[in-house]
Amino acid sequence: MTNDNLQEHLNNGLYGTPQLHPDEQRKYLGTFRERVSLAITFKEFSNNQNACLTAIKQEISSNTEEELSIKINGQLSSDIIDKIIQISKENNTKFEYLADASFSHDNDAKAIVICSSKSALHIENIDVESKYHELFERKSEKKNDPKEDKKGFLSKLFDLLN
């Protein structure tokens, strides 16, 4: 072995095999950005779970030419994971449950990534709220519902007394 090969062999033993873009792979649950079709953060799931689940169904059913898989961050709650697995089974889509501690649980961290395991998709817009904005607009319209602005009995009583 030459010195270069010996040093490379020692470095691989000490530090592990070098990875290509490890930060990007951690961010997108072990895959590259160019393979991602849809990404959902923990914050988006907590704000509107039903819209996110509907977006997952639509994304899987709309993409017929590429074999997609679902990567699930293990930090999600078990009831959401069960629903995603059910969606995966209904659409004959592979899923991967990732319980690695290196994946973050921050609000901006990815909770779900729908991606191609074999080739790059090069989809520019992968954010669920911008890609499926009509699902999230419905929720904001419901918030402005006048029924929710009604006051309770005690509030009305105190208003009358003041």
- The string of pLDDT tens digits covering residues 42-92 is 999 999 999 999 999 999 998 878 889 999 999 999 999 999 999 999 999
Q: Long-range pairs for 7-12 at CB < 8 Å and ≥24 separation?
A: none
Of residues 20 and 45, which shows the higher confidence score? 45
Q: What would the pLDDT profile of 147-161 be if each residue is shown by its tens digit?
A: 555 677 777 777 777
The C-alpha angle with vertex 59 and arms to 125 and 100, in degrees rounded to 5, equals 80
Q: Residues 105-146: pLDDT tens digits? A: 888 999 999 999 889 999 999 999 999 999 888 655 555 555
The Cα-based distances of 43 to 60, 105, 110 in angstroms read 21, 10, 9
Per DSSP, the three-state class of 137 is helix
Query: pTM for the complete prediction?
Result: 0.76
In the structure, what pLDDT confidence band is assigned to residue 1 with cuts at 50, 70 and 90? low
**Three-class SS of 57-118:** HHHHHHCCCCCEEEEEECCCCHHHHHHHHHHHHHCCCEEEEECCCCCCCCCCCEEEEEEECC
Task: Give the whole-angstrom CA distance, residue 79 versus residue 85.
Answer: 10
